[in-house]
Structure 1
Amino acid sequence: MTATSATGTTVALWRDWRGWPETIATAWRRSLRFRIISITLLLTSFAIFVTSLTMALVIQNNLFESRRDEVLSDALSAVGSGQKTLDSAEVTDDASALRALWGDVRDEIPRASSSSLIAAFAIDEPPVGTGVRGFTTGLSADLLSPGLRERVVSFPDRQAWQSVSLPMEDGSTAPGIVVGQQLIVPEVGAFEVYIAYDLADSQQTLQFVQSTLWVAGLILIAIIIGISWAVLRTVSKPIIEAAETSARLASGDLEVRLPVHGEDELATLARSFNAMADSIEAQIKELGELSLVQQRFVSDVSHELRTPLTTIRLAADMLNDQRDQFDPTTNRTAELLHTQVQRFETLLADLLEISRYDAGSVQLELEATSLTSLAEDIIEQMLPLAQGRGSELRLVAPGGYTPVDMDPRRVRRVLRNLVGNAIEHGEGRPIVVTVDSNQHAVAVGVRDFGLGMDPEDAQRVFDRFWRADPSRQRTIGGTGLGLSIALGDAKLHGGTLAVWSELAVGTNFVLTLPRQPGDLTGASPVSLEPEEVLSEVSHATQPMQLTELRELYFTDSMSNAEEDTP
């Protein structure tokens, strides 16, 4: 393997390792089975660890105490045997006999003990000529701590012991115990006698017991996890099926049902779910049928009203043309009749359009069109109405000149509706129409500085026949369906129509259309929440003609037109 490939492998492993916490967190949030198995594993492991540790400590203490008591008993017996030999002998002034007796004691203590590691030291200097001296057989005085020797000297009628590490022949060490007590030699004095015991066999036994406990604990954990998995699979499988079935039901598959097995709680849940699904399916079908009836009714009524409405409109037009020949009251009546018939005709056209959207029978007639050109045409059409309300129409078009496939009739209707609403609610303040584009979309924003709305009202602004202030009358002939139809036109293009509004600050509508057919990707080229305030656009007090707007913005904008091409 080369250095480059090794480095790449290391980086890949590091990336995989960094992704593990996120993967585990995702599984924890989304998988009930993983969460329960993890909790069971952690709690079981902790419980078995505590239990095994406690048992290991208890066994260790019991084994050590048992071995210690055995060692103390053995040492006491061995030293007692030596003391018995000394006490039973007839001690004389003969030094050779005393040396022979001491030799018998030196041989007796190892025979009576299970250890050959023995050492003896005279507490006081023996009399000269007795020939009785201390000895060591495999036990070095360096292993005896001063504290142990002090206790042996200070308490002649007691045993003293300590734990030590005994050196082995291979250079290693083994745990051991050294037991010390006094031995009284007649005519000579007291001796310190120490016997060391090797605990390697006890250590091996303890290690075997501890390893057995840990292996048994791991096996027990594996068994518990297996049992938990089997039980959880039995319980969670119906829950997972219920979740998947609910998701399919929510997505519109009304025929899906849960299988029912047995008579337990899960079977009861499945039967209740199926009953609920049957009820929902029946209600949805009933609502669908009612919706079809409603749509058909609206469509039929709208079509049936067209013939009498055409007759009424012709009569109203004729009366309106001759109203100057009538008296003032009849003149005013003819004028009102003509206006309301026109409004009724517009409402009827909107109702027909809404019925087509509800029936899903609307088709786009696409052609390459410049969104900036459409905005200019709408501003030119709406300029007299804006002048009559004292509002100034301003066009800002840094982009949007490149033709994009759209239905110009529907987009023109959306813009006319947005600009008309801005004029009606703009309170005579300036209205800014912004057109821009990027590589993904083209967009137009219509900004007014009028009354504005609170967030709750802004969420309902696209509802049919809804008004933020019911007491406020429409002054330019709106039907209450314009924004709803505009939203439908935007969605039909695969675009969006969004609104931002704030009380006493104004409102901003942004229509965004994709350059290519399909859903939008990326942000809109026109910001929904505007940054400019009224003071920044109020320097121009007189309404401008469209030719002046074109002269003001067209020159600067065309320099950026080529950048609109994706």
Structure 2
Amino acid sequence: MLVFSLTAALLCLFSMGTIKGTIQAQVMDESRRDFSSQISLAQKQLSSANLADSSQYQQLIGNLASELQNNGSGNMIGVYLMSGDDSNIDEKTFVPVSTEPEYTNLISTEMQNDLQSDSDDSIYYQAVNIAKSEKGTPGAILGSTISSNGIGTVKIFALYSYQTQQQALLQIQFNMLVSDVLLSIAIVVIIFSVMRSVVKPVQDVAASAETMASGNLDIRVQVNRQDEIGVLQRSFNEMADSLVQKIDELEKAGDMQREFVSDVSHELRTPVTTMRMAADMLSMHKDGYDATTRRTVELLDGQIRRFQEMLADLLEISRFDAGYAALDLTEGDVREPISQAVEQIASIAETKQVPLNVHLPNMEVLACVDARRICRIVRNLLANAIDFAEGRPVEVRLAVNRAMVVISVRDYGVGMTASQCERIFDRFWRGDPSRARTTGGTGLGMAIVLADVRLHGGDISVRSQMGKGTWFLVTLPRNPENGPVNVAQAPIRFSAENNGFCTVGGFGIADNGFSDYLTGEPNVGKGRKQ
């Protein structure tokens, strides 16, 4: 619209300039024609006059000036007659005559000289400004010469005013300007209306799409057009209906799958428990069996144990999916569930010849946590680290401040790529499916770790490099009732400046004894809260 307005303004200026030039040309032609006819009339009268003395010459000149003034066009202001013989001023045959002496000074000396030297009776034109107002009025002086045997050469000048034409031109320009403004406004309104009729429905569809993207699947657009916009509106509504239908189908399928997994897991618990009891009985008497039978009993016991762990993981996942998982918060020393997890996994680490280096503070670290879930988090992380440590050490550390605890589990094994790190918490995903899983993993351990951490309002982050190992940092609030953790205030965290193993902060206890982690109040003068 801005381009259109500028174009319209330029066209208006060009039109006004063209009209002004046309009117000026017409006025000049009219003035020339009128002056030419007056010159012809004066020449006839002067040629037919029979004069005896100079007094009659003067009278003739005066009458001629009056007649030219009377016979001229309405915009002729004055007529000026001067002798054309300047060779001897004292012998002039008549005194100059003017019908409007006030403007005699507008006749330039240059124009008089041009007439003096002219021998073809040409008509000369000079534009002037008649001082009738502050700005003046445009006009023109036209000059030519006539001759007589008795008088000689006579210079004739006529002053024409273009005030009427100027007023007409100003009125035309004003009318054009007003018309241009009104036309521009009308066109802008029309363009705006047309664009609004096109853009507004599209904006409505876009806004509805954003609303749907935010999770409101019930949003629909009003179909009020029969053109392509109407096709877009109908297509959006049909797409929304189809999307809702597909989501409902997926949710139904997901519910059925979760229900199936839950039901199967529960139904299998009884036979697996019976099998577990039978395997235990066989294991108790395996020393009396031959070598083949004894090996068979050991394999049976291991696989049943793995089956039990898989059922436990499936049941736990089904609880998370159903929204039944809940924390059993108790205030206690965070070091205890970490130590329990290390003890439970120690035999596996020894079998794989993986050293476990545990570095915990030498004073208790109180926090409100679900000890069973904390133990499972650390156990699953250690099991994953041992699987990929390739005989290198696995480290467990703890960092604490007034608001958070950070559990660190790091191995120096094969490591992972960036794309593998993104999928490590996916269910049933394994970084290397071909690797032997001596720990009996089900592919659900890391997914359970993530669910347990989030249930506490915590955060888990991972960094890994091929050939250098993998490092997990589990950040948990010391009091989950205070809300989720802010990792930026954790006692140790990965640096955001690179994707390597650089960290900010350090391990150990910071501000542990200076304030109550539950209330934030200073512990000065109080005993420790139990």
TM over 0.5: yes
Q: CA distance change for structure 1 residues 162 and 289 in 2, over 3 Å: closer, same or farther? A: same
After TM superposition, give the deviation of residue 505 of structure 1 in Å: 4.2
Equivalent residues of 2:128, 2:139 under 8 A apart: yes
Q: CA distance change for structure 1 residues 145 and 122 in 2, over 3 Å: closer, same or farther? A: same
Following the alignment from structure 2 to structure 1, what is the Cα–Cα distance between the partners of residues 61 and 10? Answer: 54
Runs (5+) with no aligned partner, structure 1:
1-40, 537-551
Following the alignment from structure 1 to structure 2, what is the Cα–Cα distance between the partners of residues 391 and 354? Answer: 31
Following the alignment from structure 1 to structure 2, what is the Cα–Cα distance between the partners of residues 330 and 529? Answer: 57
Following the alignment from structure 2 to structure 1, what is the Cα–Cα distance between the partners of residues 483 and 22? Answer: 79
Q: 1:132 aligns with which of 74, 77, 94?
A: 94
Residues 525-564 of structure 1 aligned to structure 2 (within 5 Å): 525=490, 526-527=493-494, 554=508, 557-558=509-510, 562=514
The structure richer in helix per residue is 1
Q: CA distance change for structure 1 residues 240 and 88 in 2, over 3 Å: closer, same or farther? A: same
Match status 1:493 vs 2:456? yes
Paired residue secondary structure (1:179): strand
Equivalent residues of 2:494, 2:501 under 8 A apart: no
Aligned partner letter, 2:29: D
Paired residue secondary structure (1:195): strand
Greater shift in the superposed pair: 196-205 or 456-465 = 196-205
In structure 2, what is the equivalent of residue 90 of structure 1? 50
Residues 366-381 of structure 1 aligned to structure 2 (within 5 Å): 366-368=329-331, 378=341
Match status 1:205 vs 2:189? no
Match status 1:104 vs 2:58? no
After TM superposition, give the deviation of residue 346 of structure 1 in Å: 1.1
Greater shift in the superposed pair: 213-222 or 344-353 = 213-222
Q: CA distance change for structure 1 residues 446 and 96 in 2, over 3 Å: closer, same or farther? A: farther
Match status 1:75 vs 2:30? no
Runs (5+) with no aligned partner, structure 2:
521-530
Aligned partner letter, 2:122: R
In structure 2, what is the equivalent of residue 548 of structure 1? none
Aligned partner letter, 2:30: E
Equivalent residues of 2:406, 2:474 under 8 A apart: yes
Aligned partner letter, 2:294: N
TM-score by length of 1: 0.74
Match status 1:220 vs 2:183? yes
Greater shift in the superposed pair: 456-465 or 499-508 = 499-508
Aligned partner letter, 1:132: F
Following the alignment from structure 1 to structure 2, what is the Cα–Cα distance between the partners of residues 255 and 217? Answer: 49
Following the alignment from structure 2 to structure 1, what is the Cα–Cα distance between the partners of residues 116 and 372? Answer: 115
Match status 1:115 vs 2:82? no
Following the alignment from structure 1 to structure 2, what is the Cα–Cα distance between the partners of residues 384 and 133? Answer: 141
Residues 43-192 of structure 1 aligned to structure 2 (within 5 Å): 43-90=3-50, 94-113=53-72, 114-117=75-78, 125-127=86-88, 128-132=90-94, 134=96, 137-139=101-103, 141=105, 144=108, 146=110, 150=114, 153=117, 156-168=120-132, 170-184=133-147, 186=149, 190=153
Paired residue secondary structure (2:424): coil
Equivalent residues of 2:475, 2:487 under 8 A apart: no
Greater shift in the superposed pair: 238-247 or 378-387 = 378-387
After TM superposition, give the deviation of residue 370 of structure 1 in Å: 6.6
Equivalent residues of 1:176, 1:199 under 8 A apart: yes
After TM superposition, give the deviation of residue 349 of structure 1 in Å: 0.6
Following the alignment from structure 2 to structure 1, what is the Cα–Cα distance between the partners of residues 401 and 180? Answer: 65
After TM superposition, give the deviation of residue 348 of structure 1 in Å: 0.9
Match status 1:356 vs 2:319? yes
Following the alignment from structure 2 to structure 1, what is the Cα–Cα distance between the partners of residues 444 and 171? Answer: 86
Match status 1:289 vs 2:252? yes
Q: CA distance change for structure 1 residues 96 and 229 in 2, over 3 Å: closer, same or farther? A: closer
Paired residue secondary structure (1:139): helix
After TM superposition, give the deviation of residue 506 of structure 1 in Å: 3.7
After TM superposition, give the deviation of residue 47 of structure 1 in Å: 4.3
Equivalent residues of 1:417, 1:482 under 8 A apart: yes
Following the alignment from structure 1 to structure 2, what is the Cα–Cα distance between the partners of residues 497 and 85? Answer: 118
Equivalent residues of 1:401, 1:564 under 8 A apart: no
Equivalent residues of 2:115, 2:145 under 8 A apart: no
Q: CA distance change for structure 1 residues 145 and 407 in 2, over 3 Å: closer, same or farther? A: farther
In structure 2, what is the equivalent of residue 28 of structure 1? none
In structure 2, what is the equivalent of residue 333 of structure 1? 296
Residues 278-317 of structure 1 aligned to structure 2 (within 5 Å): 278-317=241-280
Q: 2:446 aligns with which of 475, 480, 483?
A: 483
Q: CA distance change for structure 1 residues 218 and 553 in 2, over 3 Å: closer, same or farther? A: closer
Q: Which protein has the larger Cα radius of gyration, Structure 1 or Structure 2?
A: 2
In structure 2, what is the equivalent of residue 33 of structure 1? none
Residues 220-299 of structure 1 aligned to structure 2 (within 5 Å): 220-232=183-195, 234-235=197-198, 238-247=201-210, 249-251=212-214, 253=216, 257-260=220-223, 268-299=231-262
Following the alignment from structure 1 to structure 2, what is the Cα–Cα distance between the partners of residues 305 and 189? Answer: 142
TM-score by length of 2: 0.78
After TM superposition, give the deviation of residue 326 of structure 1 in Å: 3.1
Equivalent residues of 1:161, 1:180 under 8 A apart: yes
Residues 309-458 of structure 1 aligned to structure 2 (within 5 Å): 309-368=272-331, 378=341, 389-391=353-355, 393=357, 395=359, 405-429=368-392, 431=394, 443-458=406-421
Identity of aligned residues (%): 34
Write the deviation string for residues 245-283 of structure 1: whole angstroms up to 9, x where unpaired: 545555555555555558655555555444444443333
> RMSD of the alignment, in Å?
4.1
Equivalent residues of 1:391, 1:430 under 8 A apart: yes
After TM superposition, give the deviation of residue 235 of structure 1 in Å: 4.7
Following the alignment from structure 2 to structure 1, what is the Cα–Cα distance between the partners of residues 193 and 502? Answer: 72
Equivalent residues of 1:440, 1:521 under 8 A apart: no
Q: CA distance change for structure 1 residues 519 and 82 in 2, over 3 Å: closer, same or farther? A: farther
Equivalent residues of 1:501, 1:507 under 8 A apart: yes
Q: CA distance change for structure 1 residues 174 and 505 in 2, over 3 Å: closer, same or farther? A: farther
After TM superposition, give the deviation of residue 304 of structure 1 in Å: 1.3
Equivalent residues of 1:162, 1:178 under 8 A apart: yes
Following the alignment from structure 2 to structure 1, what is the Cα–Cα distance between the partners of residues 141 and 333? Answer: 104
In structure 2, what is the equivalent of residue 542 of structure 1? none
After TM superposition, give the deviation of residue 449 of structure 1 in Å: 3.9
